[in-house]
């Protein structure tokens, strides 16, 4: 399960830590309503995709023949966490906007999910038997 289990676990921990930080008034900046919404969105997507990375780690064990696709899915999800959630965290904490980096992270998330589905499809026998 290796690298994606580790990345998913670390990402989950980061999501919980930063979510708690924001929820318990870690910064006065987070008292602004829209900033808090942005920060919570970053933490929520961070957690969703940490769990998805754990699923990729599990799938790598279950479907070793789909290693190439699942590795691509895992790296896409990891990139999405950094680009999407990371840019939203930075924006909420500093006000700095990354422009198209956040949507690129969203596209990486989508690619990761599609690649996971493709791996599952290819791993299954679709001969109708």
Domain that holds residue 105: 2-123
Measured CA to CA in angstroms, residue 100 lies from 64, 89, 105, 106 at distances of: 35, 15, 9, 10
Specify the higher pLDDT residue, 7 or 31. Answer: 7
Report the run of H or E that residue 107 belongs to, with start and end. Answer: helix 101-123
Give kind and range of the element (H or E) at residue 58: helix 33-62
**For the whole prediction, is pTM greater than 0.75?**
yes
Among 57, 40, 42, residue whose Cα is nearest residue 106? 42
Q: How many domains does the chain have?
A: 1
Within-domain flag for 60? yes
Encoded tokens for 116:
């996971």
In a domain, 128, yes or no: no
Helix residue spans in 65-100 (DSSP H):
67-80, 86-94
pLDDT at residue 66, rounded to an integer: 94
109 lies in some domain: yes
Is residue 48 assigned to a domain? Answer: yes
- 129: in domain: no
9 falls within a domain = yes
Q: How does DSSP classify residue 1?
A: -
Range 26-30 average pLDDT:
59
More confident residue, 108 or 21: 108
Whether 86 maps to a domain, the answer reads yes
43-59: average pLDDT = 93
């Amino acid at each position: 399960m290796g690298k994606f289990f580790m990345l998913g676990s670390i990402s989950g921990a980061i999501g919980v830590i930063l979510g708690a930080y924001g929820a318990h008034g870690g910064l006065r900046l987070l008292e602004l309503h829209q900033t808090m919404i942005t920060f919570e969105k970053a933490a929520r997507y961070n957690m969703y995709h940490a769990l998805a990375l754990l699923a990729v780690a599990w799938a790598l064990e279950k479907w070793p023949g789909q290693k190439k696709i699942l590795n691509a899915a895992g790296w896409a999800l990891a990139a999405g966490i950094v680009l999407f959630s990371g840019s939203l965290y930075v924006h909420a904490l500093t006000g700095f906007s990354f422009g198209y980096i956040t949507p690129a992270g969203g596209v990486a998330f989508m690619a990761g999910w599609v690649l996971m589905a493709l791996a599952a499809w290819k791993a299954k026998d679709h001969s109708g038997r």
